């Protein structure tokens, strides 16, 4: 029982955290906490004086020991449930998987797979000639698709995949000039601590993990072989297939995802204030007020005060606004009263064009 319970301060969630720490200590050591005490009076004395159990000295794993100590700390210093979930002992590091690649291995589809209980995944496009791992990860963090504590790990994983592709391509064709693009050399495994496997804005529970592509030499028919490290029934999306609709269910979008019903088919009069238009658009694609205010500020910096001002922009003017491709795509579709479809991650310098009456992204 937590010390504050003896002092009759009342029950709250911190009491449960203390109890969790004691349970964890018992599971790790196989002994009852305060087993050194002979009676309840001795236990009461130690607990009320914040003296921790002797069995705590038998815990040798530093991560487990740190977690238990933080659960048994004084009430105002004790971990919250979220801090426990974010602790290195309980986290599962995500991995980056190569899903598809074109024949030249310049246009890749990658997926960040979170192997925890929520089985989250974030799929994105990567152009070897135009993109860098740092830019891609920074853009996903800016759009709140990833948490910033994954930045170093995912950047490291993307660069690892790029080095493997470059190496295998050179081995397959020794006479071919080495690709001009260079990536950081393979460092030792970095100490990624304090990483949470949960993307707070994007909760989901979809099916089995995706099937990654095995980085082997090209087969005679030009295809890339698959590994069996994931269930065979889960197949990657081929380049000529359309993205799966709503491949992640729940409130949070996947980086590549169909938004067939995300934006209302609504016409905005020219005199509509830009703040209202941006706020409606951000809300429809699950962006918060802070993000909407940031978009509005950048538009106003370009003297865009109403929907009419935005509608008057030429194609080349859109790239000067300073917004990400994701934001530009959302605003332009909402401006024309269309539903937003398939928002692939692409280089921020990409242009937005119209093809057959439907918005598309051009690299």
Nearest residue to 204 (alpha-carbon basis) of 143, 145, 155: 145
Nearest residue to 274 (alpha-carbon basis) of 251, 303, 245, 314: 303
Helix axis angle, 274-284 relative to 289-301, nearest 10°?
140
What does the pLDDT look like over 242-277, one tens digit per residue? 443 333 333 333 444 434 344 445 778 888 999 988
Query: Is 162:128 a contact under the CB 8 Å cutoff?
Result: yes
What does the pLDDT look like over 71-97, one tens digit per residue? 999 989 999 998 898 888 887 778 889
Helix or strand holding residue 361 (H, E): strand 358-362
Nearest residue to 149 (alpha-carbon basis) of 205, 85, 210: 85
Task: State whether residue 362 is helix, strand or coil.
Answer: strand
Q: How far apart are CA 109 and CA 345, in angstroms?
A: 10
Please state the separation of Cα 113 from the chain's center in Å: 9
Alpha carbons within 13 A on the beta-carbon side of 154: 32
Q: How far apart are CA 125 and CA 67, in angstroms?
A: 38
* Cα-Cα-Cα-Cα dihedral sign, residues 147, 151, 157, 158: positive
Query: Is 156:190 a contact under the CB 8 Å cutoff?
Result: yes
| Residue 175, phi-psi category: left (phi > 0), alpha (psi -120 to 50), beta (remainder) | alpha
Query: Is 131:350 a contact under the CB 8 Å cutoff?
Result: no
DSSP state of 23: H
Cα-Cα end-to-end distance for the chain? 61
Q: Could you tell me which residues are beta bridge partners of residue 107?
A: 127
Nearest residue to 258 (alpha-carbon basis) of 279, 274, 244: 244
Torsion of CA 330, 332, 338, 344, to 10 degrees: -40
Please state the separation of Cα 28 from the chain's center in Å: 32
Q: Six-digit token pair at 185?
A: 């050399």
DSSP state of 251: S
CA angle, 151 then 152 then 158, to 5°: 90
Q: How far apart are CA 336 and CA 43, in angstroms?
A: 70
DSSP 274-308: HHHHHHHHHHHTT--HHHHHHHHHHHHHTT--BHH
Task: State whether residue 326 is helix, strand or coil.
Answer: helix
Which residue ranges in the chain fall short of pLDDT 70?
A: 116-119, 173-265, 337-363
Q: How far apart are CA 51 and CA 42, in angstroms?
A: 11
Q: How far apart are CA 56 and CA 34, in angstroms?
A: 9
pLDDT, residue 104, reads 87
């Amino acid at each position: 029982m937590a010390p504050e319970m003896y002092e009759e301060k009342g029950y709250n969630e911190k009491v449960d955290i203390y109890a969790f720490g004691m349970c964890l200590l018992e599971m790790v050591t196989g002994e009852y906490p305060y087993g050194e005490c002979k009676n309840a009076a001795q236990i009461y004395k130690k607990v009320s004086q914040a003296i921790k159990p002797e069995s705590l000295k038998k815990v040798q794993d530093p991560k487990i020991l740190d977690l238990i100590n933080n659960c048994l700390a004084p009430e105002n210093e004790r971990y919250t449930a979220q801090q426990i979930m974010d602790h290195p002992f309980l986290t599962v590091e995500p991995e980056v998987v190569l899903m598809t690649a074109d024949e030249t291995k310049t246009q890749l589809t990658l997926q960040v797979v979170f192997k925890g209980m929520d089985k989250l995944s974030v799929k994105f496009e990567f152009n070897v000639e135009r993109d860098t791992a740092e830019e891609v990860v920074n853009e996903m963090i800016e759009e709140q698709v990833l948490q910033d504590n994954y930045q170093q790990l995912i950047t490291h994983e993307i660069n690892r995949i790029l080095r493997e592709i470059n190496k295998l391509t050179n081995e397959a064709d020794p006479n071919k000039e080495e690709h001009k693009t260079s990536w950081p050399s393979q460092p030792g495994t970095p100490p990624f601590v304090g990483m949470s496997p949960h993307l707070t804005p994007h909760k989901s529970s979809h099916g089995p993990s995706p099937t990654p592509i095995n980085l082997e030499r090209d087969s005679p028919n030009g295809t890339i072989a698959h590994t069996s490290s994931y269930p065979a029934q889960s197949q990657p999306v081929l380049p000529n297939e359309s993205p799966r609709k709503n491949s992640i269910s729940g409130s949070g979008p996947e980086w590549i995802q169909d938004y067939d019903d995300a934006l209302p088919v609504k016409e905005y009069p020219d005199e509509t204030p830009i703040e209202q238009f941006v706020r409606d658009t951000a809300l429809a694609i699950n962006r918060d007020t802070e993000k909407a205010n940031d978009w509005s500020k950048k538009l106003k910096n370009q003297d865009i005060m109403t929907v009419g001002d935005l509608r008057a922009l030429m194609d080349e003017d859109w790239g000067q606004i300073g917004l990400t491709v994701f934001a530009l795509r959302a605003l332009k579709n909402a401006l024309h009263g269309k539903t937003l479809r398939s928002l692939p991650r692409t280089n921020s310098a990409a242009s937005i064009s119209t093809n057959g009456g439907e918005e598309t992204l051009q690299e």
